[in-house]
Amino acid sequence: MQNSTSPHPAFFTFGYGQLTSIRYFYCLLVLIGQLLTVVSNGAIIIAVIFHKILHEPVYIFICALSLNGIMESISFYPSIFVTLLYHVQTISYSFCILQAFLIHIYGCFEMTTLAAMSFDRYLCICNPLRYNNIMTLSTVFKILTASWVYSIVVFGTHILLTYRLPLCDNEILKIYCDNWSIVRLSCIDTSINNAFGLFIVATFVVLLLGLIYSYFKILRICMRSSQAVISKALQTCTPQLITTFNFVTGSLFDIFLYRYIPTSVPYGFRLFMSMEFLVISPILNAFAYGIKMTELRSKILQTFSLKGTAVSTLHI
């Protein structure tokens, strides 16, 4: 319902459809998703913090991805859980704007960090003699800070441009809020929003091209290198390629699906693809890096075995 004195509706309605018919089952799935995201990524963060041997650029980047995944889950899962549990398929305008802002920050920081990780692996494998001089911990923290600042400034501006739009409808096609879902409800021309959106897409394309170039150069080096170099490259690059491919394809599919053919595909498939990069990516990040990277995996196990031993000792 829209207030007569306000250009914005007081509430948005979500497109939950048949999800509400077995809402307690989906509530359980939401809890499992939240728990998996927080526990798996939290384990990586704790291991990196407590083990000095993991205070290296690649592990700091992985830790940043894990923290980003946890923050995204906090902005995504609780609203879905409450909506399903209490059968109230609405969200206030202000909270919808906030959720859209936080989800876009997650996506932007994820992409910039994945691009930075590809450059880190390129330096490590293709220029090993210069790696330690270029990719210091100070450099890593500067890159991560720049990624956060860029994400906040760019999508803060994007959301402000959206906030100025008067809206003529209040139906969100997804089960969460994002910027395009709000912009498409506008009563006026959205050329400025579209132009700024194209600028953001252009920067993402540049990052994606840089990422592809880095892995292409790594592949060329590996083809001319020893088995030891190939083994090292596979151990560190395979998880990154898996997580990057999953995140990029999920994000692009969601963007183009809801912008051009939002109602032309089956509801279940549309729903899954709209959540894939939000649900699967943070969990896949944790398991891909935590299982595939031997050093990280051993330190995670060591961390929690030591804690378990300490707790057992206290009980004796």
pLDDT at 311: 40
- Given this model, what pLDDT does residue 310 score? 46
- CATH placement of domain 11-315: 1.20.1070.10
If you count them, how many residues does the chain have? 316
pLDDT tens-digit readout, 248-278: 888 888 777 777 776 677 777 778 888 888 9
Which one-letter DSSP state was computed for residue 5? T
Nearest CA to 106 among 167, 176, 50?
A: 176
Mean pLDDT of 228-244: 78
The span from the first CA to the last CA of the chain, in angstroms, equals 62
Lowest mean pLDDT among 1-10, 79-88, 306-315: 306-315
The token pair that represents 225 in the structure block: 């290198």
What pLDDT, in 10s, does the model give residues 202-222? 999 999 999 999 888 888 887
Q: Single out the residue of 245, 218, 220 nearest to residue 232, CA to CA.
A: 218
- Other beta carbons within 10 Å of 80: 21
Task: Report whether pLDDT(171) > 50.
Answer: yes
Q: What is the pLDDT of residue 313?
A: 41
CB 66 within 8 A of CB 286: yes
The DSSP code for 13 is: E
CA distance 213 to 151: 23
Q: Is the pTM of this model over 0.75?
A: yes
Mean pLDDT of 70-95: 88
- pLDDT, residue 290, reads 84
Q: Is residue 144 over pLDDT 90?
A: yes
Greatest mean pLDDT among 12-16, 84-88, 299-303: 299-303
Q: CB of 24 within 8 A of CB of 104?
A: no
Does 308 score more than 90 pLDDT?
Answer: no
Band the pLDDT of 110: cuts 50, 70, 90.
very high
Band of residue 21 on the pLDDT scale cut at 50, 70, 90: confident
pLDDT mean over 131-138? 90
Q: What is the pLDDT of residue 3?
A: 52
For residue 172, pLDDT over 70 is answered with yes
Average pLDDT, the chain: 85
The residue-averaged pLDDT of 144-151 equals 95
pLDDT of residue 90: 84
216 HSE (CA, 13 A, CB side): 6
Q: What is the pLDDT of residues 24-49, one digit of tens each?
A: 888 899 999 999 999 999 999 999 99
Chain centroid offset of residue 288 CA: 15
Looking at the chain, the whole-number percentage of residues with pLDDT higher than 90 is: 41
pLDDT of residue 316: 44
Q: For 189, what's the count of Cα atoms within 13 Å in the CB-facing half-sphere?
A: 3
**Amino acid 234: pLDDT:** 73
pLDDT given for residue 170 in this prediction: 86
Distance separating alpha carbons of residues 54 and 308, to the nearest angstrom: 21
CA torsion 302-42-311-300 (nearest 10°) is -10
Which residues on neighbouring strands pair with residue 13, listed in sequence order? 90, 171
